């Protein structure tokens, strides 16, 4: 384990950029923390979150990771909101899958790392999506242990956080936000290479305690609880529960929850026709199970009601997923709670649906 | 890396009208296609229009043609209806789990098809009637809206007279010349005189027909897990990526479209699921 200063952290970003790597991380924009191309980290930024509520706050300190999750997810870089799959030119089918650029994600939280590994199972399972797989192969993951929990976090309940699990190249822990330093651990060879590029002193053995205290304090701060045991069977045997109707009265079927979810993977296709050359490009873009089109069949729309669409989303995420991929589709990030315009809280809805009638 | 979403170009070899909206056409299998199993489907693509999942309705032993029978009801299928040889389309496949023909060996094979639902079952007939010694009997119960909409009529009659197929058909409505049954397909089950304990059933048609057929078969004593159904949802990618064809924990495109009925009954019985 190394001990870095904020300047060391900046050195890491600079050296990645100097190597021609696309560095993606948090920046402030649209009154939120967004993931975007960056060359430095925001300082002293915090947030406040509750159902249907997200506000940036000033922390008046020097922290680089003193906030939780904004509406962005890393999904947008590995599984882009819209991408060309193939094109048709003079009757030939030509792949649009490109050689990917190298990317580094900085500031990946425990729940987000778990979400990436979930999407790995979706796109590199029975079938492999070559675009996703090659982007994934060319990726550096620089994770950070959360030093605070938002009002909507529940990763401790899902078992995905707050401590960063396996899969990251480098794990940072921010200690002492008023004058921060960073404990840095490499999990992979690429991580060791990044440490070598920056240097910095080896951390004293008791710094392991400092790291664990940060994680323990975050866990302590996490108020929201979510009973996950037996949830798949409980939901699939409650498809006729009257509470679905109660949620449907509030749900706008807007699809915000699916757009901010780091694991939602539904997509649809579109044909782009060049009106001059008549060349066609077959596009794929994010879709949402909250649209009517999602369940369209020649016989009509299967899921007409808002109730049936909310039920589809929740039962897929928390039940179907288990059987499809061997784990839940929820990592406790709480984004769907923050960004729901009417503040629907899946942890509460599930508790209602699991309540015996 | 092979891209499961990239179609290969194929040429339409033949095209034939079956009824007002239904047609059958054949394409050459693309390079490296291999073979398909009865009940599997291909993704057919028309540039600028889109893709559609279409079951393969031909003989699995025929390595020179891929046959599709299509009802023109959507954007892609309506456009397909206007194509004639030697038009080119995109194709990828085969996808999905087919019918469990091996499970029916040594037993009675009962096929029940409603309308275009006969298309994904015809490969079973090709295969089973080519090896009749493997089955105690092969029965096809057929339902259609009208006599004009009964698919593959000549071939089925030939199979009935030459290959030992037991064939019973019924229609919803008919003119005076129709000498067969009028009514629902479930009424034919009793008349087929099957031995329920010995029967493996394969059913394809509208969802309501699947539910009532399964109920009728069980009433007669056919074991629940000997009833297999082929389901339909919007299969857009065929690889489990797009999420559209989900039914509970299943992706119809790769876990189905054929399921043992008890595995899907709970979901089929839930409205709007």
Q: How many CB pairs under 8 A join A and B?
A: 130
Average pLDDT, chain B: 95
Closest CA to A56 of A71, A43, A67: A67
B90 and A88 in contact by Cβ < 8 A? yes
Closest CA to A115 of A246, A263, A267: A263
Residue B113 has pLDDT above 90, yes or no: yes
Q: A-contacting residues of B 32-91, CB under 8 Å?
A: 45, 47-51, 71, 73-74, 77, 88, 90
Look-up: residue for tokens 């909206």? B21
- With a pLDDT cut of 90, the percent of chain B lying above it is 96
For residue B20, what pLDDT band results from cuts at 50, 70 and 90? very high
For residue A108, what pLDDT band results from cuts at 50, 70 and 90? very high
For residue A298, what pLDDT band results from cuts at 50, 70 and 90? confident
Residues of A in contact with B6 (CB under 8 A): 85-86, 93, 95
Following DSSP, what letter does each residue of A126-194 receive, concatenated? SSB-HHHHHHHHTEEEEEEE-SS--TT--HHHHT--SS--TT-SEEEEEE-TTS-EEEEEE-SHHHHHH
Task: Output Rg (C-alpha) for chain A, integer angstroms.
Answer: 21
Residue B6 has pLDDT above 80, yes or no: yes
Q: Is A322 on the interface with B (CB under 8 A)?
A: yes
Task: Name the minimum distance, in Å, from the CA of A275 to any CA of chain B.
Answer: 11
Average pLDDT, chain A: 96
Q: Is A320 on the interface with B (CB under 8 A)?
A: yes
Q: Please say whether the beta carbons of A353 and A226 come within 8 A.
A: no
Residue A98 has pLDDT above 90, yes or no: no
B241 and A265 in contact by Cβ < 8 A? yes
Query: What is the rounded distance in angstroms from the CA atom of residue A135 to the CA atom of residue A127?
Result: 16
Residue A100 has pLDDT above 90, yes or no: no
Residue A300 has pLDDT above 90, yes or no: no
In the prediction, which pLDDT does A267 show? 97
Residue B267 has pLDDT above 90, yes or no: yes
In the prediction, which pLDDT does B192 show? 92
Nearest to B244 among A294, A315, A323 (CB): A294
Virtual torsion, Cα A291, A294, A297, A298, nearest 10 deg: 70
In the prediction, which pLDDT does B179 show? 87
Closest CA to A114 of A146, A81, A71, A147: A146
Residue A357 has pLDDT above 80, yes or no: no
A296 and B248 in contact by Cβ < 8 A? no
Q: Higher model confidence: residue B176 or residue B217?
A: B217
A271 and B48 in contact by Cβ < 8 A? yes
Q: B-contacting residues of A 79-98, CB under 8 Å?
A: 85-86, 88, 91-93, 95, 97
Coil, strand, or helix at residue B124? helix
Query: What is the rounded distance in angstroms from the CA atom of residue B210 to the CA atom of residue A78?
Result: 40
Query: What is the rounded distance in angstroms from the CA atom of residue A170 to the CA atom of residue A188?
Result: 7
Mean pLDDT confidence for A147-169: 96
In the prediction, which pLDDT does B175 show? 86
Following DSSP, what letter does each residue of A73-136 receive, concatenated? -THHHHS-SEEEEEEEETTEEEE---PPPPEEEEEE-HHHHHHHHHHHHHHBSSSB-HHHHHHH
Q: Over the stretch B27-82, which tens digit does the pLDDT of each residue have?
A: 999 999 999 999 999 999 999 999 999 999 999 999 999 999 999 999 999 999 99
Mean pLDDT confidence for B151-158: 95
In the prediction, which pLDDT does B100 show? 97
Domains, chain B: 8-95 (2.40.30.10), 101-268 (3.40.50.80)
Query: What is the rounded distance in angstroms from the CA atom of residue B174 to the CA atom of residue A146?
Result: 71
Q: Which helix (H) or strand (E) holds B112?
A: strand B108-114
Q: Which helix (H) or strand (E) holds B13?
A: strand B8-17
**Cβ-based neighbour number of residue A101 at 10 Å:** 10
Q: Which helix (H) or strand (E) holds B140?
A: strand B137-144
Residue B176 has pLDDT above 90, yes or no: no
Token couple for B167: 């064939």
For residue A301, what pLDDT band results from cuts at 50, 70 and 90? very high
Q: Please say whether the beta carbons of B89 and B80 come within 8 A.
A: yes
Q: Over the stretch B220-242, which tens digit does the pLDDT of each residue have?
A: 999 999 999 999 999 999 999 99
Residues of A in contact with B71 (CB under 8 A): 298
Query: What is the rounded distance in angstroms from the CA atom of residue A69 to the CA atom of residue A34?
Result: 9
Task: Name the minimum distance, in Å, from the CA of B50 to any CA of chain A.
Answer: 7
Candidates A231, A265, A266, A298: best to mutate against B (most CBs of B within 10 A) is: A298
Q: Is A274 on the interface with B (CB under 8 A)?
A: no
Mean pLDDT confidence for A111-121: 97
ipTM for the whole complex? 0.93
Residues of B in contact with A267 (CB under 8 A): 237, 241-243
In the prediction, which pLDDT does A34 show? 98
In the prediction, which pLDDT does B220 show? 95
Task: Name the minimum distance, in Å, from the CA of B189 to any CA of chain A.
Answer: 26
Candidates B248, B250, B254, B266: best to mutate against A (most CBs of A within 10 A) is: B248
Task: Name the minimum distance, in Å, from the CA of A267 to any CA of chain B.
Answer: 5
Mean pLDDT confidence for B124-141: 96
For residue A85, what pLDDT band results from cuts at 50, 70 and 90? very high
B243 and A85 in contact by Cβ < 8 A? no
Query: What is the rounded distance in angstroms from the CA atom of residue B170 to the CA atom of residue B184?
Result: 7
């Amino acid at each position: 384990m190394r001990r870095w200063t904020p300047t060391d952290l900046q050195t890491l970003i600079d050296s990645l950029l100097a190597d021609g790597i696309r560095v993606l991380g948090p920046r402030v924009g649209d009154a939120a923390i967004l993931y975007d191309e960056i060359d430095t980290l925001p300082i002293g930024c915090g947030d406040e979150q509750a159902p249907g509520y997200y506000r940036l706050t000033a922390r008046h300190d020097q922290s680089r990771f003193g906030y939780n999750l904004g509406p962005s997810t890393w999904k947008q870089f590995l599984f882009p909101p819209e991408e060309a799959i193939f094109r048709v030119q003079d009757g030939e089918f030509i792949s649009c899958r490109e050689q990917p650029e190298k990317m580094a994600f900085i500031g990946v939280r425990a729940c987000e790392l778990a979400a990436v590994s979930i999407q790995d199972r979706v796109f590199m399972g029975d079938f492999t999506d070559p675009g996703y797989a090659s982007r994934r192969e060319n990726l550096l993951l620089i994770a950070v242990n959360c030093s605070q929990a938002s009002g909507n976090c529940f990763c401790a309940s899902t078992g995905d956080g707050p401590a960063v699990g396996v899969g990251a190249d480098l794990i940072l822990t921010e200690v002492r936000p008023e004058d921060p330093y960073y404990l840095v651990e490499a999990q992979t060879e690429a991580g060791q290479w990044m440490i070598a590029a920056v240097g910095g002193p080896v951390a004293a053995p008791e710094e392991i305690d400092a790291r664990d205290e940060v994680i323990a304090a975050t866990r302590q701060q996490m108020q929201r609880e979510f009973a996950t045991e037996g949830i798949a069977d409980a939901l699939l045997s409650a498809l006729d529960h009257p509470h679905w109707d109660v949620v449907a009265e509030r749900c706008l079927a807007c699809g915000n929850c699916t757009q901010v979810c780091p694991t939602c993977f539904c997509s649809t296709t579109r044909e782009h026709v060049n009106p001059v050359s008549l060349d066609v490009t077959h596009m794929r873009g994010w879709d949402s199970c909250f649209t009517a089109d999602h369940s369209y069949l020649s016989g009509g729309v299967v899921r007409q009601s808002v109730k049936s669409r909310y039920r589809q989303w929740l039962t897929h995420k928390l039940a179907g997923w288990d059987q499809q991929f061997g784990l839940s589709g929820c990592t406790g990030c709480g984004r769907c709670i923050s960004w729901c315009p009417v503040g629907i809280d899946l942890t509460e809805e599930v508790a209602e649906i699991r309540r015996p009638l | 890396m092979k891209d499961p979403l990239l179609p290969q170009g194929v040429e339409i070899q033949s095209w034939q009208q079956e009824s007002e909206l239904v047609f059958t056409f054949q394409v050459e299998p693309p390079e490296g296609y291999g073979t398909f199993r009865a009940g599997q489907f291909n993704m057919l693509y028309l540039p600028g229009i889109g893709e559609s999942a279409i079951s393969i309705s031909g003989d699995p032993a025929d390595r020179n043609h891929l046959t599709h029978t299509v009802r023109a009801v959507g954007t892609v299928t309506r456009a397909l209806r206007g194509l004639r040889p030697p038009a080119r389309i995109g194709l990828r496949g085969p996808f999905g789990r087919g019918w469990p023909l091996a499970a029916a060996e040594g037993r009675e094979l009962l096929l029940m098809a409603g309308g275009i639902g006969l298309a994904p079952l015809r490969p079973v007939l090709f295969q089973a009637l080519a090896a009749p010694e493997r089955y105690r009997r092969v029965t096809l119960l057929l339902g259609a809206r009208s006599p004009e909409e009964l698919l593959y009529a000549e071939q089925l009659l030939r199979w009935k007279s030459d290959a030992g197929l037991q064939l019973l058909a019924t229609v919803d409505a008919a003119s005076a010349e129709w000498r067969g049954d009028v009514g629902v397909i479930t009424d034919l089950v009793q008349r087929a005189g099957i031995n329920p304990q010995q029967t493996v059933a394969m059913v394809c048609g509208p969802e309501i027909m699947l539910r009532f057929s399964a109920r009728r078969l069980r009433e007669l004593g056919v074991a629940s897990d000997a009833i297999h159904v082929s389901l339909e949802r919007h299969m857009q990618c065929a690889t489990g990526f797009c999420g559209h064809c989900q039914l509970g924990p299943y992706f119809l495109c790769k876990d189905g479209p054929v399921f043992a009925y008890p595995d899907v009954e709970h979901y089929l019985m839930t409205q709007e699921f």
